[in-house]
Amino acid sequence: EVQLVESGGGLVQPGRSLRLSCVASGFTFDDYAMHWVRQSPGKDLEWVSRITWDSGSVAYADSVRGRFTISRDNSKNSLYLQMNSLRVEDTALYYCVKGVRIQLWSGWYFDLWGRGTLVTVSS
Amino acid sequence: DIVMTQSPDSLAVSLGERATINCKSSQSVLYSSDNKNYLAWYQHKVGQPPKLLIYWASTRESGVPDRFSGSGSGTDFTLTISSLQAEDVAVYYCQQYYSTLQAFGQGTKVEIK
């Protein structure tokens, strides 16, 4: 079955860290760039970060740059998001997402989403 | 950054009637060299992850019912549900992928009248 399964979410205090994981199955993981997209309660979808198939290029939204680090282990079909210095506004459902891109200069659209893992940042 | 703006924020449509959602980008997402619009649409039901409906502005993803159609070019796009079904209740998002800072619209909530 083609799927993405996230884990690692939970309740954490402001300023602390959390590491999210995502395991992929049913497709050739190392053929694709992977992304994290989040949705805060009652708010819009927000792209967070992406990593190319070979980890050669990463990118972050301004809201998380310098605090979050994306990585992957193709031998384990796994994607990670290390989140440091967490803030209340990072509270969200975090989705692991598979990206599709045709042109090397363009962005990605997203054809496979996990069910998400909930991160709650609160004192 | 390219900003995506959807309208309306919500709409209520009777079963079997047409639902129309608009999406406007702050700059063109049409790439002249390949004549493609870098615009996707997603359906997000409560308790489920978002689902890709349409990419390249008008290409339906495999398995998506043909009552869903996308149109438009440049900066103005439309998602149409030709005959609304109960299972279509959801929030619908457009997304541009012309830029590597891909961005979503704010979403349009579709309900049954």
Q: Tell me the average confidence (pLDDT) per consecutive run of 10 residues in chain A, 123 residues long.
A: 97 98 97 96 91 95 97 98 97 97 89 97 96
Which chain A residues have a beta carbon less than 8 Å from that of B104?
44-47
Residue of B nearest to A98 (CA): B52
Residue of A nearest to B107 (CA): A44
Question: Could you tell me if A83 and A68 are in contact, meaning their C-beta atoms sit under 8 angstroms apart?
Answer: yes
Please list the helix, strand and coil fractions of chain A in percent, rounded to the nearest 5, in that order. Answer: 5, 50, 40
**pLDDT beyond 90 at B49:** yes
Mutate which of B99, B104, B106, B108 to test chain A, going by most A C-beta atoms within 10 A? Answer: B104
What 8-state DSSP symbol labels residue B1?
Answer: -
Please tell me the predicted confidence (pLDDT) of residue A104: 83
**pLDDT beyond 90 at B33:** no
Please tell me the predicted confidence (pLDDT) of residue B101: 87
| DSSP character string of B67-101 | TEEEEEETTEEEEEESS--GGG-EEEEEEE-SSSS
Alpha carbon distance B4, B22 (integer Å): 10
Question: Could you tell me if A22 and A80 are in contact, meaning their C-beta atoms sit under 8 angstroms apart?
Answer: yes
Which chain A residues have a beta carbon less than 8 Å from that of B44?
45
Q: Do A45 and B31 touch (CB under 8 A)?
A: no
pLDDT single digits (tens) B50-99:
999 999 999 999 999 999 999 999 999 999 999 999 999 999 999 999 99
Tokens describing residue B113: 């009248």
Tokens describing residue A55: 């980890």
Environment class of B32 (CB within 10 Å of its CB; exposed 0-12, middle 13-18, buried 19+): exposed
Please tell me the predicted confidence (pLDDT) of residue A42: 82
